[in-house]
Amino acid sequence: MAQYRRVSGSVGLITLQNPPVNALSASVRQGIVDSVKRALGDQKVKSVVICGQNGVFCGGADIREFGRQMSGPPLVPMIHDIEAANKPVVAAIEGSALGGGLELALGCHYRISHSKAKLGLPEVTLGLLPAAGGTQRLPRLIGVPAALNLITTGRHVTAAEALQLGILDHVTEHNTVDVAVKFALSVTGESLDGRRISSFSCAPLSDLDSLFEEAMLKVRGAARGAIAPVACVQAVRAAATLPYAQGMEREKELMATLFHSGQARALQYFFFAQRAVGRWSTPSGARWDTSQPRPVRKAAVIGLGTMGRGITVALAQAGLSVVAVETHAKQLMEAKKAVPSMLKRGAVRGGTTIEPDSITYSETVQAVADVDLVIEAVFEDMALKEKVFQQLSIVCKPDTLLCTNTSSLDVDHLASQTRHPELVVGMHFFAPAHVMKLLEVVYGRRSSPAAVATAMQLGKKMGKVSVAVGNCRGFAGNRMLKRYLEQAFFLLEEGATPELVDRALEEFGFPMGVFRMSDLSGLDVGWRVRKADGLADTSLTGTSARVRQGCRYSPLGDLLCEHGRFGQKTGRGWYQYDKPGGRVAKSDPWLHNFLDEYRARHGLVPRCIDQQEVLERCLFVLINEGFQILEEGIAAGPEDIDAIYVFGYGWPRHRGGPMFYADMVGLERVVERLERYHQAHPNVPYLQPSGLLRRLVANGSPPIHKWRNVIKNRNSQL
Ligand SMILES: CCCCCCC/C=C/C(=O)SCCNC(=O)CCNC(=O)[C@H](O)C(C)(C)COP(=O)(O)OP(=O)(O)OC[C@H]1O[C@@H](n2cnc3c(N)ncnc32)[C@H](O)[C@@H]1OP(=O)(O)O
């Protein structure tokens, strides 16, 4: 809807009304069309102001309408009619002017904004392009290079930057609508000839071809197979080379290729999925809207290795005062140097300032006596962690929340070491902890709703996407990853190479394939866990070398570690590097010989493995574990798993996340392929389709947003 009224005698004021962000739904567009017509037809009205209710100009087209039959007046002619009006139209921008919202403002003759507003054309992040004239008007207004940057990245800019770029005419600290109305009065009757952006030409550039070639190269490099950024470059090129009307045709044509694409569906699903994970709940009844978080002003970190340092930085960046504890003097000294420089680099990147004395360092756990929350980040060793939790339980205030940054250990067991198990939760950060967006908040059997709510809220304050998950080995992310890694090892045994497997995964859209990723994170990490679990026994020979607990097992990773090949840190792993710590992975003949010898030793006849098999084996088994996790209630919904994989494991966002990908591929096909692979590898039980996956197929493979109903029905029968 849009409200229309006349103010200050001669100004028609149009207010968009569609809470919470005044998205341009069919009824809002109809309201705008009707109001503009009224204003232009009213002789008493000399100028027009368009604003949005509740301090938000407009969050853009209504994304929820995209998957449906479109109705109501289309955006392009609506904006065209505003620009063609013979009375000045002023956009009064507060809050956000994004996507179609900014495109609407670009159709106005003047743009006035509050200093706190954010502007941008984020359509590319939804798999689209700004197809309401954005790709044609913005380059004409601010020049091709700046428009390319905004349109291909979708980044939001502040009002100050928008003013500098020339998007805005004026920025105010006062009531924006009042300022815009006054301004509209002041320009009444003035010529609008120089105010219609569609009549502008793009500022000439000396070498347009090389500018666009470079832009295309950059975009293709960063897009990892996403098609929208490429289409954005093509559309801006049309603005630079064609008259406006033809440019608009090109914009429409390019949008048509994107609009119904699987990538657009995936990205729009993911937009809502990110918001859905904020509405968390746990089986014990704790919920985002009813569980009260506790205030956390002062926090502590125990253990200042790589993770602890990152967490310390992230806490300080969130404005908390932090006590950083490390009992090893050398490690403490190193951390005292490293943390301030990490903070400094972060401040430069983010344009922020950090209070230098917000962090105090200590060599003893006693220093955490008065903190509100502790995050333990010591070495991944249960005995050590037990000791830390026992100590914390004595030293801390009785109501201090005790969190563990374990990546797989039992949170309930750690809680049992304390006097207040209800105040214990897992906070599983991803390295580097001050950079990576994902945080798994792991609730235990006894974690109180307030404890979960506090950890979730703290994560948000730290700029993380916090996902609540239940307690199990590896939680959601690493539990699924284990199956993916196992399949990758099995593929090597059967004839694949690390290069082949990695290429398939990288072409799928992962920034790194599984083997390059293992080399980066260190092969010794998994080896240590497998040794602790009694799995990494390379003394076994014959058939028993490749079987553990009755299931297929590959000792390849263990053997590599025994050769001292820990990945990048030792200069050798699945690949070779020019030196320890080197970054550029090169194919390693030693490794290929090693694989040949290994296969010969175990009587394995290598066969040709294609990329499709790599993707199906590695991804479908990971997805299958995801269904198992949903079945067990470890994750509340598919959106949680998808957010974990996109934000924590490099799953390409334009493929929506593993669970969305399964929906796209078709659940029946996933079941069929898993069954086939299970038949071929009967000693790999995880290739058997999970009960939930089968039930969804039996229920006619409902779309992903209906899966929760099937999960709920099952749980209510238990
Ligand atoms: C052939 C057809 C041609 C059509 C041409 C189309 C050209 C134009 C395309 C577009 O405009 S696409 C949309 C572009 N806009 C965006 O991408 C902005 C998306 N929104 C945001 O970034 C943020 O919501 C915000 C506006 C910055 C506000 O952030 P805040 O943190 O305050 O609130 P949120 O929790 O994010 O959102 C609240 C609520 O509103 C829903 N929502 C937000 N934007 C939209 C939207 N554009 N359409 C529909 N719904 C929207 C959001 O999902 C939240 O609801 P819940 O999911 O929590 O229920």
C-beta separation of 619 from 655 below 8 A: no
CB under 8 A, 24+ apart: contacts of 558-561: 558/527, 558/530, 559/594, 559/598, 560/523, 560/594, 561/523, 561/524, 561/527, 561/536
User: pLDDT by residue (tens digit) across 191-222?
Assistant: 999 999 999 999 999 999 999 999 999 999 99
The average pLDDT across 537-561 equals 91
Q: Hey, how many other C-beta atoms are within 10 angstroms of the C-beta on 314?
A: 28
Instruction: Please name the CATH architecture into which domain 2-260 falls.
Output: Alpha-Beta Complex (3.90)
Is 99 near ligand 1, meaning CB less than 6 Å away?
A: yes
384-418: pLDDT as tens digits: 999 999 999 999 999 999 999 999 899 999 999 99
Ligand 1 proximity of 20 Cβ (cutoff 6 Å): yes
Residues 585-611, mean pLDDT to the nearest whole number: 97
Cα 98 to ligand 1 centre (Å): 8
Pairing state of beta strands 157-158 and 118-120?
antiparallel
Q: Indicate the domain borders of the chain.
A: 2-260, 298-475, 496-602
Predicted pLDDT of residue 356: 67
335-375 pLDDT, tens digit each: 999 999 999 998 888 777 777 689 999 999 999 999 999 99
Q: Which residue has the higher pLDDT, 423 or 355?
A: 423
Question: Ligand 1 mean position to 400 CA, how many Å?
Answer: 38
Question: How far, in Å, from the CA of 441 to the mean position of ligand 1?
Answer: 26
List the residue whose alpha carbon is closest to atom 38 of ligand 1: 20
Q: Is the peptide bond before 20 cis (omega within 30 degrees of 0)?
A: yes
Q: What percent of the chain has pLDDT over 90?
A: 92
Q: Which CATH number fits domain 298-475: 3.40.50.1370, 3.40.50.920, 3.40.50.720, 3.40.1190.20?
A: 3.40.50.720
**pLDDT averaged over the chain?**
96
pLDDT tens-digit map of 383-392: 999 999 999 9
Q: Is pLDDT at 271 greater than 50 in this prediction?
A: yes
Q: Which residues contact 370 (CB under 8 A, 6 or more apart)?
A: 298, 397
What pLDDT, on the 0 to 100 scale, is given for residue 4?
Answer: 98
Residue 35 C-alpha to ligand 1 middle, in angstroms?
23
Q: Identify whether the C-beta of residue 39 lies closer than 8 Å to the C-beta of residue 47.
A: no
What ligand 1 atom has the least distance to the C-alpha of 278?
58
Asked if 42 and 7 touch (Cβ cutoff 8 Å), the reply is: no
Q: Is 450 helix (H, G, I), strand (E, B) or coil?
A: helix
Residue 535 predicted with pLDDT over 60: yes
Residues 495/609, Cβ–Cβ less than 8 Å:
yes
Say how far apart CA 416 and CA 427 lie, in whole Å.
17
H-helix segments, 224-324:
228-241, 244-259, 262-276, 306-317
CB distance 123 to ligand 1 below 6 Å: yes
The fold of the 496-602 domain, in CATH, is N-(1-d-carboxylethyl)-l-norvaline Dehydrogenase; domain 2 (1.10.1040)
Report whether pLDDT(551) > 80. Answer: yes
d(CA 220, CA 214): 10
Positions of E strands within 482-528: none
Phi, psi of 235 (to 5 degrees): -70, -40
ipTM: 0.99
Structure tokens at 47: 């100028």
Q: Inform me whether the pLDDT recorded for 55 exceeds 60.
A: yes
Residue 402 has which token pair? 């005790």
Q: pLDDT by residue (tens digit) across 221-231?
A: 999 999 999 99
Residue nearest (by alpha carbon) to ligand 1 atom 20: 59
**Which of ligand 1's atoms lies nearest the C-alpha of 100?**
11
Whole-number pLDDT of residue 633: 94
256 CB near ligand 1 (under 6 Å): no
616 pocket-lining for ligand 1 (C-beta < 6 Å): no
Q: How far is the CA of 22 from the centre of ligand 1 (A)?
A: 9
Give the Cα separation of 623 and 497 in Å (integer). 23
For ligand 1, the distance from its centroid to the CA atom of residue 60, given in whole angstroms, is: 6
Predicted local confidence at residue 355, as pLDDT: 72
User: What's residue 532's pLDDT?
Assistant: 86
Ligand 1 contacts CB of residue 21 (under 6 A): yes
Catalytic site includes residue 123? yes
* Nearest atom, ligand 1, residue 76 CA: 5
Place of tokens 């010529």: 191
Query: What are the Cα distances from residue 512, in Å, to 196, 267, 506, 651?
Result: 47, 21, 6, 10
pLDDT digits (tens, 9 = 90+) for 90-126: 999 999 999 999 999 999 999 999 999 999 999 999 9
- Asked whether 122 lines ligand 1 (CB < 6 A), one says yes
Task: Check residue 533 and give its pLDDT.
Answer: 86
Phi, then psi, of 330 in degrees rounded to 5:
-65, -45
Q: Does position 718 have pLDDT exceeding 50, yes or no? A: no
Whether the predicted pLDDT of 692 surpasses 70: yes
pTM of the model: 0.96
For 412-426, 485-499, 533-547, 649-663, which range has the lowest pLDDT when averaged over its residues? 533-547
* Ligand 1 pocket: which of 56, 63, 253, 289 to mutate (most atoms within 8 A of CB): 63
